[in-house]
Amino acid sequence: MQKITFKVVLLASLIAVGGQSRAMEESQYVDLFRRMPIVLSVGHESVTLLDQQFPLNYCSDEARFFCVTSEVLRFAVPRGLPTPKNWSYEGADYEIVGGGEIVLSGKIVSYQAIRQKWKGRITDYAYSFGRGVIAIKSKEGGQLFLSTGCGFAVGAKPDC
């Protein structure tokens, strides 16, 4: 039961979405530190974790956020720069707690470390406007890494 709860909590803390052009593609993440790797796929209408699918609802292009909601998740990133240090969206609180640079596919990518608090859980995201969410870390120990060109919540000018 604890493993199933962890997977649902991790999933609930993971998802965000970019504009409609980005939402048409699938982003995949993998946890390489488990005996059997966990794969998370974020598509146009659903999110799949292992063999469970959950429907997604995206914010409109006119909304103040790149966001997605479902019965098991809620994630939002403000559109435009500069990103405020703190924001809230439908019961989830977010804070930029750091940032840095990483090399992905031979390119230097700047990212922000964003902490989400939702339903008593804490999840950290490495987020880049040009690449979307590139890594996810649950305080319960799960770590997911982007295994496709772009993650979800990509800004207006993707760089993948």
Distance of CA 138 to the CA centre of its chain: 11
Q: What angle do CA 123, 127, 43 make, to 5 degrees?
A: 85
**Virtual CA dihedral for 79, 108, 159, 146, nearest 10 degrees?**
-80
Residues 24-76 pLDDT 10s: 467 888 887 776 667 777 777 887 777 788 898 878 878 888 887 776 667 78
Closest CA to 114 of 102, 105, 104, 100: 100
Helix (H) or strand (E) holding 108: strand 107-118
Domain boundaries, the chain: 2-146
Task: Place 113 in a pLDDT band, splitting at 50, 70 and 90.
Answer: very high
The pLDDT value recorded for residue 37 is 65
